[in-house]
Structure 1
Amino acid sequence: MSAVVAMRLPVQVDLSGFITLLRRLQVPHRVSEEAGEQVLWVPGEQLAEQVRELYARYPQGDAAAEMPPAVASTSGDGLLARLWRSPVTAVMLVLTLVVFGITAAGENFAAIRWLSFTDFRIQGDSIYLNYLAATLAEGEWWRLVTPMLIHFGWLHLAMNSLWYWELGRRIEHRQGAVSLLALTLLFSLASNFAQYLWGGPSLFGGLSGVLYGLLGHCWLYQRLAPNDSYRLPPGVLVMMLVWLLICMTGIFELLQFGAIANAAHVGGLLAGCVTGLLGGALARRHR
């Protein structure tokens, strides 16, 4: 039986939810892009008519499958159930909390030195940091990513954990646990190297570089392949970018609130924009 066109829709229309529904119903189909339109093909005119009726009733497909994790849960859906659905997000947050306890909220330097980007020693009131080449020569490659687990104070931990919970679940829901883990490690590498190359050997840590990577990824992925999961609340992107610019002014150092790893934020954001462009382009082509 030859394939026939069931529907033609503009490329701006998000078909991902409806495609998920067709897969669950085991409806044979394929989607192509022709002259600025998405074309949905099925075998036979009778099936095409049924698909058109299905789309008229459920254009978003299975709403629970495509709704962002932040709003997909029901009133009876507890925290443990949501953690179970997002294992990588949950493990990252638990691991961060454990490290926070071991490092005594960033005060236990004996523990921090095993997770920092470069090794260091403290003598009196001074801190002496190794260069990266010397640290890696010892085979301590885990240091390339472990700074993301270090947090200095409860506010630092709370803000980063909340944003990772929000953005991490979206990516894990949309692209899977393996993708979130890979992106987290990649953005940690990018942000840590950016901070080291900009500021030289220094003591820094936190998930914020990774968070800016996740933000950039969701932002540009959504621009190229619109979907409900990556549609962030209005103003979130602007707020995060404005906050980045404020931090780069040096106001917090001037007020003696502590140094901000601005290069890590920028490095993570740029890496996230690259993965968002690539992922969004591939998703759009596949669609």
Structure 2
Amino acid sequence: MTASVALRLPLETDLSGFIALLQRLRVPHRVAEEGGEQVLWVHGEELAEQVRELYAQHPLGDVNGDFPQAVAPARTPVLVQLRRSPLTALMLLITFIVFAVTLAGENYAAIRWLSFVDFHIDGGNIYLNYLDATLASGQWWRLITPMLIHFGWLHLAMNSLWYWELGRRIEFRQGAIGLLGLTLLFGLASNFAQYWWAGPSLFGGLSGVLYGLLGHCWIYQRLAPNPAYRLPPGVLVMMLAWLAICMTGVFELLQFGAIANAAHVGGLLTGCLTGLLGGMLARRNA
């Protein structure tokens, strides 16, 4: 990997604290005197941008002894990452508990209390209520809880992995409260979008929330670049391509099950809007 310049600073700048921080984070680097300046070299331009962001926030280093792992997260043990992303971990834990209680989407007696609208099964047929009747009975939690329902192990695994990846980024950049607010907002928007498009139906999963998180990171990063929201190359293209493929109806045609495409689109558009607002605010305050 090609070495890149992360920082160029005057010789009188004290870098000892910041160098100690890089050493604790196990970031490979070297400092050289070149042209009357201190030059900090690291491996690769992506890492160089992360180090510049780190220096902008903590030029004196880890002064309080409690700095979060912002660089080279792949080297951080899973348990440490769980402690540093408590809201992300809690959301996944709740999702796993619901998955167990609903027997991987087979226990309709449990699913009935979490679906967007109430329903009952008679003679092998499912009969769903309308939203106004459901809300009239005070069951407002249904506006959010479908995001916790998953139908099958593959459905759960894919959504959990992506929430772990995107949720940690947002929790690091905007805090646990920020991630919680966005998760609830995207869940609400995607559920309403699916109901508006398809009417009373049985749907669930975190995928609408995931597309919201994706859109948020995407637009926010375009307006206010930061290491946390810089997604790996090809991720955005892959996710949008997957959305487009799902919207063709090919999975329904192959009898793989219905896809809640409206929830995906609703989540994505809402995420782009929050990313636009958040990015503009961060850019103005920079």
Q: Which bin holds the TM-score, normalised by the shorter protein?
A: 0.7 to 0.9
Corresponding residue for residue 55 of structure 2: 18
Kept in 1: contact 2:68–2:84 (CA 8 A): no
Kept in 1: contact 2:53–2:227 (CA 8 A): no
CA distance in 2, matches of 1:139, 1:147: 16
226 and 126 in structure 1: CA distance in 2 versus 1, 3 angstrom threshold: same
Give the match's secondary structure for 2:120.
Answer: strand
Kept in 2: contact 1:86–1:169 (CA 8 A): yes
Q: Could you tell me how far 1:81 is from its partner in structure 2? A: 1.4
Which portions of structure 1, spanning 4 or more consecutive aligned residues, are displaced by more than 6 angstroms? Answer: 23-26
Identity of aligned residues (%): 71
25 and 252 in structure 1: CA distance in 2 versus 1, 3 angstrom threshold: closer
256 and 97 in structure 1: CA distance in 2 versus 1, 3 angstrom threshold: same
Q: Is 1:168 the counterpart of 2:167 in the alignment?
A: yes
Q: How does 1:182-193 map to 2 (within 5 A)?
A: 182-193=181-192
121 and 266 in structure 1: CA distance in 2 versus 1, 3 angstrom threshold: same
State TM-score, norm by structure 1.
Answer: 0.78
Q: How does 1:109-188 map to 2 (within 5 A)?
A: 109-188=108-187
Give the match's secondary structure for 2:127.
Answer: strand
Q: How does 1:1-287 map to 2 (within 5 A)?
A: 16-22=53-59, 66-67=70-71, 71-74=72-75, 77-287=76-286
CA distance in 2, matches of 1:91, 1:66: 21
Q: Could you tell me how far 1:18 is from its partner in structure 2? A: 2.9
CA distance in 1, matches of 2:134, 2:61: 51
Q: Could you tell me how far 1:16 is from its partner in structure 2? A: 4.2
CA distance in 1, matches of 2:109, 2:116: 14
The alignment covers a number of residue pairs equal to 235
Q: Could you tell me how far 1:155 is from its partner in structure 2? A: 0.2
Q: Which amino acid aligns with 2:283?
A: R
CA distance in 1, matches of 2:61, 2:231: 27
Kept in 2: contact 1:217–1:275 (CA 8 A): yes
Q: Could you tell me how far 1:17 is from its partner in structure 2? A: 2.8
RMSD of aligned alpha carbons: 1.9
CA distance in 1, matches of 2:77, 2:221: 28
24 and 139 in structure 1: CA distance in 2 versus 1, 3 angstrom threshold: farther
CA distance in 2, matches of 1:92, 1:235: 26
What are structure 1's unaligned runs of at least 5 residues?
1-5, 7-12, 27-62
25 and 79 in structure 1: CA distance in 2 versus 1, 3 angstrom threshold: closer
What are structure 2's unaligned runs of at least 5 residues?
1-9, 11-48
State TM-score, norm by structure 2.
Answer: 0.78
Comparing both chains, which one has the higher relative contact order based on Cα–Cα distances under 8 Å and sequence gaps of 6 or more? 1
Kept in 2: contact 1:103–1:109 (CA 8 A): yes
Q: Could you tell me how far 1:97 is from its partner in structure 2? A: 0.4
Q: Which amino acid aligns with 1:285?
A: R
Corresponding residue for residue 46 of structure 2: none
Q: Could you tell me how far 1:73 is from its partner in structure 2? A: 4.9
CA distance in 1, matches of 2:145, 2:132: 17
Give the match's secondary structure for 2:282.
Answer: helix
CA distance in 1, matches of 2:96, 2:189: 23
Corresponding residue for residue 17 of structure 2: none
Kept in 2: contact 1:217–1:276 (CA 8 A): yes
CA distance in 2, matches of 1:73, 1:253: 37
The C-alpha deviation readout for 1:4-52, integer Å capped at 9, x for no partner, is: xx9xxxxxx88643331148689xxxxxxxxxxxxxxxxxxxxxxxxxx
167 and 100 in structure 1: CA distance in 2 versus 1, 3 angstrom threshold: same
